[in-house]
Structure 1
Amino acid sequence: MTETVRLPLAYHDTAVASSYHLASAEAVAALLPRRGGRPLLRPIPLPGGRTPVAVHAYRYRTVTWTGTGGATHTLAPYGEVGVTAGVLAGPAARGGARPATGGFVLQLPVTSREARDLGREAWGLPKWLGDMDFLDAPALQRVRLSEAGTEVLVHTVRTRGPALRGSSSRTLWSVRDGRLLETPIPVSARWQAHPGPGGAELVLGAHRLAAWLRRLELSSSPLTAFRAVEYRSTLPAGRSLGPVDGVPAAPYPGSDAASARFTVAYPGTAPLPQYPEVAVR
């Protein structure tokens, strides 16, 4: 019998490429949880009614957790594309505690059902199965996200300059079973940054979720972009901050297959399937 996954998860070896884009603060606010008609999270305000929304592309190559007997278990490697709103959590959410800054996940496709189910069950994350084709080059990382041959987006990050150590943690908010969860995520990383619009490009496709993202009025070019030269993190269980009465619509269901397409190409190579049982389509 397979042992139930125990938290925290340890992410030992992760490829990360991120960019931060401008979006409509009003459109983002409509997607955030509320209680008693009052917002629990607020979009980070920027001039002109705009707010930052991040697009993250991850390749989790080594993920482990510790079983009840002390044995180390692993999750299968997987890809993930996150679209995350930059938010402020004030006293209404945190019981009078000092306001905090972090992210509320709007979309989180992954390439394995194992990762999808765990993310939904443990944190209420809006995960679904998406096909991901990565290009990993010395100064560029690109991912094409699609489903059943229909493109959702293409995310490209370019980097330059020295790698610098970044923040030691970040905070994630999500809604599980009608309650707001706050999850602090310790991170050890070194980043290459490319500030300004030349650091990344986001192109939306014809998929229904691309149309959904267009309603957020996401800018195609970013405020800034980052790529991790080194990235390790720990994902613990979230802390409940109480019930919510205004939540986004049910997450996109997607396929119920065991896995989606997950390939990685390097300069001069064809796409290399990361799951032998999934053929490149």
Structure 2
Amino acid sequence: MTEPVRLPLAYHDTAVACSYHLASAAAVAALLPRDRGRPLLRPLPGPGGRTVVAVHALRHRTVTWTGTDGGTHRLAPYGEVGVTAGVLAGPGARRGGRPATGGFVLQLPVTSREARDLGRDAWGLPKWLADMDFLDAPGSQRVRLGEDGTEVLVHTVRAGGPALRGTRARRLWSVCGGRLLETTTPVLARWQAHPGPGGAELVLGGHPVADALRRIGLSPVPLAAFRAVEHRSTLPAGRPLGDADAAPGAGHPGRDAEFGRFTVAHPGTAPLSQYAEPAAV
């Protein structure tokens, strides 16, 4: 019998490419959790009624956890694309009454059922099964995200130059079982940055999730872009806070399969599946 996954998870080797975009603050606010109508999180304020939304493309290559026997267990590698709103905690989501900033995940497709179910069950994250085709090139990374042959988005990040080391904690809020969870993830990384609009491209396809991103006015032009040449993190259990209503319309159901398509290619090479058995399309 397979032992249930135990937290925390250790992410030893993750490829990360991310960009930051503007979106409608009012449209994002409508997707954030509330407690009996009272907002728990608010979009970070930006110019002209806009707020910041991040798009992350990740390849988790080595993920482990420690079993009850003290042995090391592994998750299958998986791809992940996160669309996360930058938020400011309200009174029901503050640590010791102090203001706090972090993120609330709006979409989080992944390429394995194992990662999907764990994210849904442990944190209430809006994970769904998708297909991802990555292209790695010198100074850039691209991912094509799709489902059953329909393209959701294409995300390309271009960042180079010196890689600066940074140690920080990433704070995320989610709603699980009617409770607001706060999860703080320590991160050790070395980042390459490209400030300004030329560092990334975001093209939305004809999928319902792409339509949902259009409804929040997500700009295809980024504010800045980053790539991690080294990225390690630890994902613990969330800390329960007060009651919370699930965000309206949260979570695309997606299909049910053990794996989605997860390929990686380099210039001049054919895509290579990251799973032992090619995933059916």
Do 1:90 and 1:96's aligned partners in 2 also have CA atoms closer than 8 Å? no
- 1:279 Cα offset (Å): 4.7
Could you say which residue in structure 1 is the equivalent of 2:78? Answer: 78
RMSD: 1.2
- 1:245 Cα offset (Å): 3.1
Question: Is residue 13 from structure 1 mapped to residue 4 from structure 2 by the alignment?
Answer: no
- 1:248 Cα offset (Å): 2.3
- 1:78 Cα offset (Å): 0.3
How far does the alpha carbon of each residue in 1:225-250 deviate from its partner, in whole angstroms, 9 at most, with x for none?
00001000000000011111352224
Do 1:194 and 1:226's aligned partners in 2 also have CA atoms closer than 8 Å? yes
Do 1:35 and 1:246's aligned partners in 2 also have CA atoms closer than 8 Å? no
Cα–Cα, structure 1 residues 240 and 54, in superposed 2: closer, same or farther, change >3 Å? same
Question: Is residue 229 from structure 1 mapped to residue 229 from structure 2 by the alignment?
Answer: yes
Q: What SS does the corresponding residue of 2:275 show, helix, strand or coil?
A: coil
Could you say which residue in structure 2 is the equivalent of 1:88? Answer: 88
Could you say which residue in structure 1 is the equivalent of 2:203? Answer: 203
- Counterpart amino acid of 2:75? L
- Counterpart amino acid of 2:69? G
- Counterpart amino acid of 1:252? H
Could you say which residue in structure 1 is the equivalent of 2:116? Answer: 116
Paired residues in the alignment total: 281
Question: Is residue 218 from structure 1 mapped to residue 196 from structure 2 by the alignment?
Answer: no
Could you say which residue in structure 1 is the equivalent of 2:104? Answer: 104
Question: Is residue 32 from structure 1 mapped to residue 32 from structure 2 by the alignment?
Answer: yes
Between the aligned partners of 1:250 and 1:22, the Cα distance in structure 2 is 20
How far does the alpha carbon of each residue in 1:107-148 deviate from its partner, in whole angstroms, 9 at most, with x for none?
000000000000000000000001000001111100000000
Q: Which runs of 5+ in 1 are unaligned?
A: none
- Counterpart amino acid of 2:101? T
Could you say which residue in structure 1 is the equivalent of 2:182? Answer: 182
Between the aligned partners of 1:225 and 1:95, the Cα distance in structure 2 is 29
Q: What SS does the corresponding residue of 2:119 show, helix, strand or coil?
A: helix
TM-score by length of 2: 0.97
Between the aligned partners of 2:242 and 2:90, the Cα distance in structure 1 is 13
Could you say which residue in structure 1 is the equivalent of 2:4? Answer: 4
How far does the alpha carbon of each residue in 1:16-40 deviate from its partner, in whole angstroms, 9 at most, with x for none?
0000000000000000011132110
Identity %: 78
Between the aligned partners of 1:165 and 1:90, the Cα distance in structure 2 is 31
- 1:178 Cα offset (Å): 1.1
Cα–Cα, structure 1 residues 279 and 39, in superposed 2: closer, same or farther, change >3 Å? closer
Q: Which runs of 5+ in 2 are unaligned?
A: none
Between the aligned partners of 2:248 and 2:188, the Cα distance in structure 1 is 31
Do 2:130 and 2:261's aligned partners in 1 also have CA atoms closer than 8 Å? yes
TM-score by length of 1: 0.97
Between the aligned partners of 1:151 and 1:101, the Cα distance in structure 2 is 32
- Counterpart amino acid of 2:43? P
Q: What SS does the corresponding residue of 1:125 show, helix, strand or coil?
A: coil
Between the aligned partners of 2:49 and 2:91, the Cα distance in structure 1 is 23
- Counterpart amino acid of 1:49? G
Between the aligned partners of 1:108 and 1:53, the Cα distance in structure 2 is 13
- Counterpart amino acid of 1:238? G
Alignment of 1:42-191 (within 5 A): 42-94=42-94, 96-191=96-191
Do 2:39 and 2:90's aligned partners in 1 also have CA atoms closer than 8 Å? no
